[in-house]
Structure 1
Amino acid sequence: METFATRGYHNASLAEIAERSGLTQAGVLHHFRTKAGLLTGVLELRDKSDIEALGDGRPRGLGLLRHLVNTARLNAEREGIVRLYAVLSAESVTEGHPAQGYFRSRYAGLRELVVAALREAVEAGELAPALPVASVANGIIAVMDGLQVQWLLEPAAVDMVETTEQVITALIGVPLPPEE
């Protein structure tokens, strides 16, 4: 994770990855077959840890938006994973990048998840029926990703947790429920 996070996919060498992990290059390739396979494994590990943090099921409605604020709090404690995500998601927009499909799918799934939560909150009467849920979902995701980049560049100047909550609240027009 650290090698991809600090060097990006194209500049990360299998030799450095092998050395950091205490394996030979052949040993790394035995487990992952290709550098692209290793990258996918690293990204899947990141997602797996986030999913495990959810526990038995995803929060519904405004509870999911509170979870996003909590995710920002968690991310403020794991700089390496945030850097990995920021570097690789930006790199993935280039043609032929091995993580492009992963990030397309991840963003589509994340948008669907946030849209579903916003619709649940509308159906529960917690949000205005006219709320443009797709645009609000895109805005929430964009703010969270942009804050991560700003935080990586100047951590003392960016409070990801406070800003995430303020922006979500501004976009939905109501305060988030308190933490449980």
Structure 2
Amino acid sequence: MLHAAVEAFAQDGYQGCSLARIASEVGLSQAGLLHHFPTKEDLLAAVLDERDRLDTRRFLADGAEGIDVLAALEKLVEYNTYLTGMVQSFTVLAGESTADLHPARDWFQNRYDNVREMIAAELRTGVERGEIRADTDCEGIAAELVATIDGLQLQWLLAPKKIDMPALFRQYTSRLRNAIST
């Protein structure tokens, strides 16, 4: 069900897809789907939570701390090239969530706050260890890293043969490493 919802949200966005279509994709009636997810918002939340679960598990798998957070993010970007539907769904929903009344707006705001803080915390660990320059704006760089990933994902989705997302992100993190390392 989640896979079908990811694909539907990726193709038509939250507003454009119907529960009936998602139910049909998995061989259920709309009532059958509503048994598992009482509302479309509940299904949306489950899709977003699954994306976040996969990314968090992947990101935390290496236990990267300090400057090594950059390598962990490089691996995450590489991994995302195998999850086209999930990346597309996330990108569509993130764009839609900028509308004030979108049901995922709070989820995306919280997610971005949490992701930036998680990255900034690891960068601050690098400062404390002496790996990263003391004058580094860890919060600013965390926001920059997230923006770079999201921007590359969008460009990759639009032109996958032209945009080598992992290579471009590694180039960026290499320049960043050089700029902030002690």
Q: How does the TM-score come out when normalised to structure 2? A: 0.90
| Percent identity between the two aligned chains | 39
Equivalent residues, number: 176
Letter in 2 for 1:11: G
1:127 aligns with 2:127: no
1:25 aligns with 2:30: yes
1:53 alignment partner in structure 2: 58
Relative distance call for 1:92 and 1:74 in structure 2 (3 A) is: same
Partners of 1:172 and 1:14 lie apart in 2 by 46
Letter in 2 for 1:107: Y
Q: Which runs of 5+ in 2 are unaligned?
A: 1-5
1:158 aligns with 2:158: no
2:3 alignment partner in structure 1: none
Pick the aligned partner of 2:47 from 28, 39, 42.
42
Task: Give matches, 1:12-161, under 5 Å.
Answer: 12-54=17-59, 58-161=63-166
1:168 aligns with 2:173: yes
Structure 1 stretches of 4+ with a deviation exceeding 4 A read: 54-57
Q: How does the TM-score come out when normalised to structure 1? A: 0.91
Relative distance call for 1:14 and 1:150 in structure 2 (3 A) is: same
Q: Deviations over 1:100-141 (max 9, x none)?
A: 111001000001011011111111111111111111111111
Q: Deviations over 1:25-69 (max 9, x none)?
A: 001111111001100011111122223335667421122221110
Q: Deviations over 1:47-101 (max 9, x none)?
A: 2222333566742112222111001101111110110110000100001101111
Compare 109-118 and 55-64 and name the one that shifted more.
55-64
Letter in 1 for 2:32: G
